[in-house]
A and B are shown apart, each in its own frame.
Chain A
Amino acid sequence: MPQKYTVEIIIENKPAARDPEGETVMRDLVHKSGYTNIKSVRTGKILRLNLEASSEAEAKDTVIRMVNELRIYNPVAHIYRVEIKDKRGES
């Protein structure tokens, strides 16, 4: 019996690829507002998927396979991670 899962794909630039949006947020918002103990800000992109799978492992495998097959991220510039958020797929 397939279950519903919510899975998030989080994509961000590799450390070597600058993230000017994150830099601006840190410099012009975070630090100027006094949060000087925050040492870095990186922005990224989230794709939240609802899917059906027979297990958590299958849900994760499906998403990882898709991410690589469809180049959801550009391996030259980005890193990604896949996280299971909710087993009912209701988020």
Chain B
Amino acid sequence: MNTEIKIGVVRFPGSNCDLDTVYVLRDVLGVSADLVWHKDKLEGFGGIVLPGGFAYGDALRAGIIAAYSPVIQEVKTLAREGVPVAGICNGFQVLIEAGLLPGALLPNDGLKFICKWVNLRVEHSDTAFTNVEKKGGLWKLPIAHGEGRYFADKTILKELHENNQIVFLYVNDEGEPTEDANPNGSLESIAGICNLERNVLGLMPHPERGSEKTLSPYRTDHGKRFFQSMIEYIRKGVA
């Protein structure tokens, strides 16, 4: 086990992908990973993951109540210091509501909770979570959410484009972001975005559920590249 790299996985009341994330980091990627209760201190971590789930039962709006957890102030400080911070699904919703990423995640277009495998296209490889992938790389990962329709106003959307912050798009098998391939009505098929510094990234799909070939109907393990990139990013920072 590579003990110099330690990743913190934050647990809110209602998180449910926390253990899967810790398992992938420890057992699939061989780094050290610990669960951190949302009221506890984040100490000694080279990277942070806000996992999927239903923090506070999605009351009022997914992610909003967790955004006021004590841990979020520390996440903000670490993000400013350049520590990689990933928000997966509910974690993405928390990052948005905490103001760490711009925009909004609204109820899915079809109003239903959607649980299925999707195709993603990696738009940029210069982020903390895509640096082992090439631009244009196609990933298969599952989604499982009710509130994942990305929305932003014109000003934010323009900034996202200008600063290359749109990192993942929902695409079809040919790699094109068509309407049919967009599962939830997200604006411009946006599945994941990053901050200006490229160390904070949120996405609706679940890389931790797609990191082992055994678990994929397509025998893929693309999710591993997400965490490998994170580890690579931390390693470079350490060195």
Interface positions of A (Cβ within 8 A of B): 13-14, 16-18, 20-21, 24, 70-72, 74, 76-78
Distance between A51 CB and nearest chain B CB, rounded to angstroms: 18
Decide: A18 and B109 in contact? CB cutoff 8 A. Answer: yes
Cβ of B102 < 8 Å from any Cβ of A? yes
B156 within 8 Å of A (CB atoms): yes
Q: Tell me the complex Cα distance, A77–B109, Å.
A: 14
Interface of A is mostly: loop
Q: Which of A18, A21, A78 meets B185, CB within 8 Å?
A: A18
Question: Chain B interface secondary structure, helix, strand, loop or mixed?
Answer: loop
The CA of A21 and the CA of B60, in the complex, are separated in Å by: 17
Q: B106 within 8 Å of A by Cβ?
A: yes
Asked whether A21 lies within 8 Å of B107 as measured between CB atoms, the reply is yes
Q: Is the CB of A76 within 8 A of B64?
A: no
Q: Is the CB of B111 within 8 A of A20?
A: yes
Given contacts A76-B152, A76-B156, 18 further A-B contacts (CB under 8 A): A13-B106, A17-B106, A17-B151, A18-B185, A20-B107, A20-B108, A20-B109, A71-B64, A71-B97, A72-B60, A74-B104, A76-B102, A76-B103, A76-B151, A76-B153, A77-B104, A77-B106, A78-B104
8 interchain pairs, CB-CB under 8 A: A16-B153, A17-B151, A18-B109, A20-B111, A72-B60, A74-B96, A76-B151, A77-B106
Evaluate whether A24 and B106 lie within 8 angstroms (CB atoms) in the complex, with A18-B185, A72-B60, A76-B152 already known: no
